[in-house]
Structure 1
Amino acid sequence: MLTAHYLHRLPADYDLNAIRTRGKARGALWDAAPELYFKGFLLREAGKHGAIENSYSSLYLWRSDQAFADFLLADRYRNVTNSFGRAQIETRLVLDAHRGRAQQAQFVFEETTDIARDADLGQVFAAEVAQNKAAVTRPGIVAAVVSLDTLNWRVSRYLLAEHAQARPSDVAIAYEVVHLSQPLLHTLPEGQST
């Protein structure tokens, strides 16, 4: 499994309703995408939920690296580049992914943490997996994913939630979910309370 995430900064006067309309219209095209657990069409609006600028982004959870390659080979990214240009796509190896009991994601929260140079990687990974499994059992959580960037040695945690109160910390970046395509989300293991 891997995550892919890219972001486009938007001018302060950009019509964000156009992004909302685009996300809902294009989202339907992803609702049955093979090998895709979910794709979030995400928006940050300056002055809301801590955002200081407007941006539009997409977050994918792919079943395999080949599924992501197929997305690129099928030239589906062209729709993005034609409208917004080519963004850097951050891809990460998934350490753990579970679905929660909630159904309707309104927010995605992202936390990224550097791994200390002298940290015991096995302990770090085990702690991240345990934290992810605990997070997904909280009320209002649709899914929780933790992934690893081996180039920069950092972990990214993504929490898909029904409400803003689920924000895990003050440093978590909050995204409004314009549309969540979830063709295979139901096949992720469900988080279990211990």
Structure 2
Amino acid sequence: MMIAHYSHRLPAHYDMGLIRSRVNDRSGQWSAVPDLYFKAFLVREIGRLGAVANDYSSLYLWRQEDAFRTFLSDGGFDVVTRSFGRPSIATYVALEARRGAGAAAKFLAMSESDIPVDADLTAALAGEGAWCREAASASGTVVATVGVDTRSWRTVRVLITEGESADPKATHYEICHLARPQFDTLPLSEAVGG
């Protein structure tokens, strides 16, 4: 599995209604993408959820790296670059992903942490998997996933929930739409029966 995330910082007075309309117009095409667990269409607006700038971004959980490569190389990404330019894409090897009992995906919280150079790598990554399973079992969680960037040795935690997260270390987003083509094939949290 692979997590990919990119964002577009927008001017302070940008009409975020244009982004919401764009999402409404384009989100349906993602409902049947093979090898995609989900795509979250995300916004941050100045003054909401701790945001100091307007932002439009996308976060993907791909079943395999080849699907992401195809998206980039076969023209699927062109609509992004034509509209917003070519963003940097943060990519992570997904260590684990679990569905929770929540249904309405309204918020996403994402946090990154460095793995200290002297840390036991096996133990650190096992701890991230344990976080994912625990987070997925919490009330209101739709999905939790965790990944690692092996270039910088940073982990990323992604939590999609029905209500706002209280994590002060996370970057918080509103979800405009969550496309879920292969979502139901993700394992359930233990609390739900997985």
- Verify same fold: TM over 0.5: yes
The residue number in structure 1 matching 2:171 is 173
- Cα distance in 2 for partners of 1:39, 1:56 equals 13
Are 1:125 and 2:125 an aligned pair? yes
- Cα distance in 2 for partners of 1:163, 1:48 equals 14
| TM-score (ref. length: structure 2) | 0.97
RMSD of aligned C-alpha atoms? 1.0
**Matching of residues 156-167 of structure 1 within 5 Å:** 156-164=156-164, 167=165
Are 1:192 and 2:190 an aligned pair? yes
> Would the aligned equivalents of 1:110 and 1:174 in 2 still touch at CA under 8 Å?
yes
**Matching of residues 88-107 of structure 1 within 5 Å:** 88-107=88-107
Report deviation, 1:73.
2.1
- Cα distance in 1 for partners of 2:166, 2:16 equals 26
Which runs of 5 or more residues in structure 1 are unaligned? Answer: none
> Would the aligned equivalents of 1:109 and 1:168 in 2 still touch at CA under 8 Å?
no
- Cα distance in 2 for partners of 1:13, 1:81 equals 22
The C-alpha deviation readout for 1:111-136, integer Å capped at 9, x for no partner, is 10011110000110111101110000
Q: Which amino acid aligns with 2:41?
A: F
Q: Which amino acid aligns with 1:186?
A: D
Report deviation, 1:168.
4.9
Are 1:8 and 2:8 an aligned pair? yes
- Cα distance in 2 for partners of 1:132, 1:142 equals 12
Runs of 4+ in 1 over 4 A off after TM superposition: none
The residue number in structure 2 matching 1:74 is 74
| TM-score (ref. length: structure 1) | 0.97
- Cα distance in 2 for partners of 1:97, 1:3 equals 10
Q: Which amino acid aligns with 2:7?
A: L
SS in 2 for 1:7: strand
- Cα distance in 2 for partners of 1:152, 1:58 equals 21
Q: Which amino acid aligns with 2:150?
A: T
Which runs of 5 or more residues in structure 2 are unaligned? Answer: none
